[in-house]
Structure 1
Amino acid sequence: MTVLLVDAANVVGARPDRWWRDRPGATARLLSRLAGLPGREVDGAVVAEVVVVVEGAARDVPAPDGVRLVRAAGSGDDALAATATGLAAAGRAVLAVTADRGLRARLPAGTAVTGPGRLLDVLDRMAGNGSG
């Protein structure tokens, strides 16, 4: 069982759906979709827990049941890298979701990584919406 660790800003920004007009709203919609992932498979890993790093204007969004938020006081990348390090140190398997190459390079050795598009495809299939 794996902790899905999500870079919310990176996933929200992966689709040009006017998210920039309402970052908190776009993040809240993503969190609502992520709440259904525990027990499901993402990139071959069964999700036990969903942890999402939120930052900036979206930092104060409410957390739905089934999602744990890490509210970055500064850099979301710093918070995600620190969270991944803590989870790995606790012996947890982590699947990080980000397209940020610089962030990927900062993750602990052995951390599995997938991109936002892959996660959004899974969420779309769950919603019965293959095209997004």
Structure 2
Amino acid sequence: MTEQPGSPDDTPENTKGRPSLAEAALFGCCPRCDARTLFDGPVKFAERCRACGLDFTRFNVGDGPAGFLTLIIGALITGLAIWLDLSVRPPFWVHIVIWVPVTVAAVLAGLRVSKALLLIAEYRNKAGEAGRDE
């Protein structure tokens, strides 16, 4: 089996200088070459890496991150909104001005990081669909 350039290996000399999984996801790094080319938009993956040519369309991240983020961020925002309302009693428009942008920003940031995290983990662990030979 031939190794792809920049493919992961558990030896320390091959992982030295590479970003951690969390760092790579946060900055949208290509899992093969570590260039910041994973995204083409706020949460849309690029077709392929502009630096090394890795095809990102072969990875299947799915909608898993969106479901978890909806539940987690929804619970956090609801808790914070209730706390603010019980402690300060602001008018309703203040809630809208605060929580709508905070929710949109949290969902976009969380979705970007979680999608990147799953794609990079899939590449590093050589995961794929069952019965698929690649």
TM-score w.r.t. the length of structure 1 is 0.24
Greater fraction of residues in helix: 2
TM-score w.r.t. the length of structure 2 is 0.24
Greater fraction of residues in strand: 1
